[in-house]
Amino acid sequence: MKKIINFIIFTTIGLFIFTSCKKNQLGGDASLSGIVMHHNKPISNAKVYIKFNTTEFPGADSTIYDSFVQADGNGNYSIPFYKGSYYVFAIGRDLAITHPYLVKGGLSISVRNREKLTKNIAVTED
């Protein structure tokens, strides 16, 4: 009987530890925020794509990213994270140019628990 009780206790503790240690996903107490910018002008409504568990540029194909957020009308974005490594890649249109150009750019980040990072994403013409 004592072996069964010990097994149940250790299994419960193991499950708690395994499920409470989240990493490389959205929704934690850490965050990244900033402005998507092209030549010091905010890019409204840009999409900011997120790739989990990497610091290398995975490519410009938006379908390979794990998630995305959309910047507001002033180019501001905010992403809640758990600790881990991420690559964020922004795509938008610079409407201030006569023929709006597609602009892209990204950056890699590593974030710790409860860390609040502020980083603008510089984008350039395609």
pTM of the model: 0.81
CB 79 within 8 A of CB 33: yes
Q: How many helices (H) and strands (E) does the chain have?
A: 1, 10
Architecture of the domain spanning 23-125: Sandwich (2.60)
Q: Domains of the chain: which residue ranges?
A: 23-125
Kindly report, residue by residue over 111-124, the tens digit of the pLDDT. Answer: 999 999 999 999 99
99: confidence class by pLDDT, cuts 50, 70, 90: confident
| Cα–Cα distance measured from residue 105 to residue 9, given in angstroms and rounded to the nearest whole number | 49
CB 52 within 8 A of CB 28: no
Structure tokens at 106: 């990204």
Kindly report, residue by residue over 78-88, the tens digit of the pLDDT. Answer: 999 999 999 99
Side chain identity at 104, as an amino acid letter? K
| Cα–Cα distance measured from residue 65 to residue 87, given in angstroms and rounded to the nearest whole number | 9
| Cα–Cα distance measured from residue 29 to residue 104, given in angstroms and rounded to the nearest whole number | 28
17: confidence class by pLDDT, cuts 50, 70, 90: very low
